[in-house]
Amino acid sequence: MDETCSSLLAWLRRISGTKARKLLAAGVASRAAGGLQIDLVSVLDALQKLRASGLISYKPDIMGMPYTGYLTVVPAVVNMSITEKTWLEALEVATVENALLSEALAASYSLFEGLDAQDMGHVIAGLQRIESTSQENVFGFSVSAQHVLGSSKILSRLPLSTLRLLGAEHFPSTPRYIVVAGPPDPIGVLLIENTTSFELAVQAGLDKRLALVASYGYGLNTMSDSCAGLALVESVLRRECQILSRTGSNHNLSKLFALPRILFWGDLDREGLRIAMALKQQLPQLELSALYLPMRMQVHYRETSHPYVALSGKAAQLPWLPTGDKVFDDLASACSNRAVDQEAVDLKQYGHLAQFSITEMS
């Protein structure tokens, strides 16, 4: 049996359940192609081979393809894990009417390790309630806790493709906040990647002339130092967040983002620069703050910089791909092997650089 047939048979066995061993024939080829990420022609050829071998059965059309009724799968003589077996049985008992959802959940059995059959049944029932209920202006954590075992985290553990089938892909997990500090008429905006640096900038008085902007409320992970910056990107992109004033009042994001001077200051690492580039796609006038200059000096010395390893929270950062923007690419080259977090900058000494861009001070 060739590799495509083996992969397809394993996929069919996984999603067809442990008892009936059957699934709707209509559209099964397209679903398999998507699930296995292989082309439809290869799937169709493999279906014919598996049917000819007696490993699956279905009512064929004139081209020999399944088109109506059910496709039945011969079970494999293998030892299925207790979790997988219990989960698939729970899905059969629940009779999930949405075939695509049933298939998606079947493939995610490993997420439910540690649950017994009764808990699994309650999980499936809760997910079906979410699917059948129109939800607006809600948070994923609250929807999950209200419907799925009282847990706020379960819904967020599901793959995005499954969340789409549930109609829950756009639920923010928690409330989103943009925090602003600044005067009534700032000379410009300084977008700050990390919230600690935002507070230090306020304490250093950078909000006397600039509007300082950071983002909170995204379940920040202390072992991954790009969460707050990614939150800032999403807030700028979607503009669906609450505005909190750290200093000043009545801040208006639309007016702030319309100012000609918008600067970004974040970690001097690959991910920090990717965040800046993503923001620049939404705010074309954005430039990198001159606060990167002391960091660019620090990155050349081992005692003031760190490698991309797990200890620094940067092991997963991918290499930089050239963008054609000289300022970004040059800075990325400087931090290609070692990085400096923005909290390392002494704002009492270098705070005057905040209102200028790198190009203005280079």
Rounded Cα distance between 185 and 208, Å, is 10
Report the length, in residues, of the chain.
Answer: 362
Rounded Cα distance between 90 and 96, Å, is 10
Contact call for residues 213 and 180 (beta carbons, < 8 A): yes
Q: What single-letter amino acid sits at 106?
A: A
Longest dimension (CA), the chain: 79
Provide the angle, in degrees to the nearest 10, between the axes of the packed helices 117-132 and 99-107.
Answer: 140
The pLDDT, as a whole number, for residue 260 is 95
Contact call for residues 242 and 175 (beta carbons, < 8 A): yes
The pLDDT, as a whole number, for residue 201 is 96
- pLDDT tens per residue across span 279-337: 898 889 999 999 999 999 999 999 999 999 988 888 888 999 999 999 999 999 999 99
| Per-residue three-class SS string for 179-203 | EEECCCCCCEEEEECCHHHHHHHHH
Which domains can be identified in the chain, with CATH numbers?
A: 1-78 (1.10.10.10), 79-174 (no CATH), 177-361 (3.40.1360)
Rounded Cα distance between 256 and 154, Å, is 37
- Token pair listed for 4: 């495509």
State which residues of the chain have pLDDT below 50.
Answer: 217-225
- Token pair listed for 17: 């359940």
User: Does an H or E element contain 101, and which?
Assistant: helix 99-107
The pLDDT, as a whole number, for residue 290 is 96
For 216, the 3-state DSSP assignment is strand
Any residues with CB less than 8 A from the CB of 329 and at least 6 apart, and which? 320, 322, 323
Q: E strands, 103-248, where? A: 177-181, 188-192, 210-216, 242-247
Laid out side by side, the sheet with 56-60 consists of 22-24, 66-73, 56-60
For 246, the 3-state DSSP assignment is strand
Q: What single-letter amino acid sits at 117?
A: A
